[in-house]
Structure 1
Amino acid sequence: MKFLGNLIWLLFGGIVTSIEYLISSLLLMVTIIGIPFGLQTLKLALLALWPFGSKVTDNGNSGGCLRLIMNIIWIFLGGIWICLTHLGFGLLLCITIIGIPFGRQHFKMAALALAPFGKNIQ
């Protein structure tokens, strides 16, 4: 079922979303300051490519205070808008019974988009 869900996800927007995150990641990595943020959008690109069966886990206390500061900067630089977009799509998809699994994947991406520093995708 995970393979079928991922295949449907890819056909109906997963590839486009992943490419958009990949392009934004490359644009962020042009500058030295943008490299950490570009790495976080790469996480989102990977999750957007194959969300069913993927888990977002916390690193624990790796990074400490720096992780908190980077997440706050991320939120102000656009993370809140990415999160709200995924929440909106998730709510829209959850209106129908068929869309609930896909809406849940958007909710997973929204949580990662809000605070990606200190998170891993498995």
Structure 2
Amino acid sequence: MSEIGNFFWFILGGGFMGLAWWLSGFLAIITIYGIPWAKSCFVIGYFSFLPFGKEAINRKLLTEQDDIGTGSLGKAGNLIWLIFAGIWLALGHVMFAAVCFISILGIPFGIQHLKLAGLALAPIGQTIVAKEVAVAARNRHAQTKLSK
């Protein structure tokens, strides 16, 4: 079922926004200073091409450990990202979401665009995994919280 969703998604803005993510990645590499953000651009760009069946999740939630992207440096990196590229990518996803929300059949695609718009605002500290892995990580995290 996710293959059919990904096919229609690609047509309804996913292909264009995936290219926009990759363009941001190339621009980040060219500036030299943006290299730390470039890999994320390419990973999220691929996710933007084919999002159904996958999900973005916080790495701390997944691994239950802090790393450089989930701490204060990650927050600073997200702020820099937001100023230079995040707002523009998020705006693109919001515009495609508005178009998708025009029809009832487009609503799931509009929702996915809004999820990607949120990811575009703060991608550092996030990772892309299969939906099943994300659900398992959330359940494990909830069990850990309940046991404390």
TM-score (normalizing by structure 1): 0.87
More off after superposition, 57-66 vs 25-34: 25-34
Q: Give the drift of 1:88.
A: 2.8
Q: How far has the Cα of 1:41 moved from its partner?
A: 1.4
Cα deviation, residue 110, structure 1: 0.6
**Residue 94 (str. 1) matches residue 101 (str. 2):** yes
> Any gaps of 5 or more consecutive residues in structure 1?
none
Q: Are the structure 2 counterparts of residues 11 and 95 from structure 1 closer, same or farther at C-alpha, using a change threshold of 3 Å?
A: closer
Equivalent residue of 2:54, what SS? coil
> 2:19, 2:98 → 1: CA distance?
23
Deviation sequence 1:55-88 (CA, Å, 0-9, x none): 0000123221100000011111131222122123
CA distance in 2 between partners of 1:84 and 1:16 (Å): 13
Larger radius of gyration: 2
Q: CA RMSD in A?
A: 1.7
> What pairs up with 1:93-112 in 2 under 5 angstroms?
93-112=100-119
Distance 1:83 1:9, change over 3 A: same
Matches within 5 A, 1:17-28: 17-28=17-28
Residues 26 and 38 of structure 2 are in contact (CA less than 8 Å); yes or no, is this contact kept in structure 1?
Answer: yes
Count the aligned residue pairs: 122
Aligned sequence identity (%): 37
- Unaligned runs of at least 5 residues, structure 2: 61-65, 130-148
TM-score (norm 2): 0.74
Alignment check: 8 A CA contact 1:59 1:119 kept: yes
2:117 and 2:94 map into 1 onto residues whose CA distance is 6
Q: Distance in 1 between matches of 2:20 and 2:44?
A: 10
Equivalent AA in structure 1 for residue 56 of structure 2: V
Shift of 1:26: 1.8
The answer for the alignment partner of 2:51 in structure 1 is: 51
Deviation for aligned residue 1:43 = 2.7
